[in-house]
Amino acid sequence: MPIIGCVSAKGHASPAPAGRDWVEHTTGVLAQAGHRSSAPRRAVVEQLGGQACVRSARDIADALRAEGRDVGLATVYRALELLDDLGLVNRLDTGEGSARYEPADPGGDHHHHIVCDMCGRVTAFEDERLEREIARLAQRVDHHIGAHDVILRGHCSSCASGRR
């Protein structure tokens, strides 16, 4: 089960960001769906394209403000809602009261998350055996599984050992 990193509740860094390809793909999908281009929405898309894993709307708004971009929190929420509706971001409810978001891979590649119930740290992981088991389950219950999210909860090693 390869651990691929992620953003922690304390803002620690993660794997490689989604990048320009995701930004251009997202901009194209928005245009095709009839949504006009706006500087604030573009700023949110570019901020998401520069991240690798989950961040809250507030984290995104704070990062934009730190860059000198005047984009309010309500605008960030509206942009994230639209991107989520179009399947361009993945939404992760970590159980902390607010969702976190990450770019959705246009090719369908994805990862899952482990959330520490004590500190909120999020760790992303990939597991090919898990993916195969989900495909087998779909056959067994006679369903086509279009998408899935796996969120495991527990305590990270630091919290479990009392180091936090």
Name the pLDDT band for 13 (thresholds 50, 70, 90).
very low
Q: How many domains does the chain have?
A: 1
Statement: residue 143 has pLDDT above 70: yes
pLDDT digits (tens, 9 = 90+) for 92-140: 886 667 788 988 887 777 788 888 888 878 888 888 899 899 999 999 9
Q: Residue 62, CB half-sphere, CA atoms under 13 Å: how many? A: 6
The angle formed by the CA atoms of residues 94, 98 and 104, to the nearest 5 degrees, is 65
Give the mean pLDDT of the chain.
83
pLDDT band at 164 (very low <50, low <70, confident <90, very high): low
Higher per-residue pLDDT: 160 or 80? 80
CB atoms within 10 A of CB 54: 23
For the chain, the distance separating the N- and C-terminal CA atoms, rounded to the nearest angstrom, is 25
Q: How does residue 29 score in pLDDT terms, banded at 50, 70 and 90? A: very high
Give the CATH number, domain containing residue 89. Answer: 1.10.10.10
Q: How far is CA 82 from CA 2, 19, 51, 58, in A?
A: 31, 19, 18, 16
Residue 35's domain spans which residues?
A: 3-160
